[in-house]
């Protein structure tokens, strides 16, 4: 595992774009960063069969509302409830 300096959880956010390939290495890396106190964010959230594998480690979900219809935005927020994520 690579060495890195961990910053306090509230001072550091690591953002990931929705990955094309979710494998065990990716999940393990997210889990390690999360356990080490990093706050993890994902951009361009998509509900896929693999999503449930990494969602336990995601703290922030970024949804771009500028390019979406209101029904699409509502659908995204509804999906967050499925993963027990809060919207703010």
> Does residue 3 belong to any structural domain of this protein?
no
> Does residue 60 belong to any structural domain of this protein?
yes
**Cα–Cα dist 51/7, whole Å:** 27
* pLDDT classification of 13: cutoffs 50, 70, 90: low
**Cα–Cα dist 28/87, whole Å:** 26
Q: What are the tens digits of pLDDT across the range 59-77?
A: 887 777 776 677 877 777 7
Structural domain containing residue 24: 9-82
**Cα–Cα dist 23/33, whole Å:** 16
Domain count, the chain: 1
CATH number for the domain that contains residue 14: 3.40.50.1000
> Does residue 87 belong to any structural domain of this protein?
no
> Does residue 46 belong to any structural domain of this protein?
yes
**Cα–Cα dist 13/24, whole Å:** 22
pTM (predicted TM-score): 0.64
Q: What are the tens digits of pLDDT across the range 26-59?
A: 889 889 888 888 888 887 777 777 788 888 888 8
């Amino acid at each position: 595992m690579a060495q890195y300096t961990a910053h306090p959880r509230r001072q550091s956010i690591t953002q990931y774009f929705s990955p094309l390939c979710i494998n065990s290495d990716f999940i393990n890396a997210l889990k390690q960063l999360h356990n080490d106190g990093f706050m993890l964010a994902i951009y361009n959230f998509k509900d896929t069969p693999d999503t449930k594998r990494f969602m336990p480690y995601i703290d922030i979900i970024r949804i771009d509302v500028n390019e979406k219809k209101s029904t699409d935005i509502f659908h995204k927020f509804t999906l967050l409830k499925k993963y027990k994520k809060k919207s703010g």
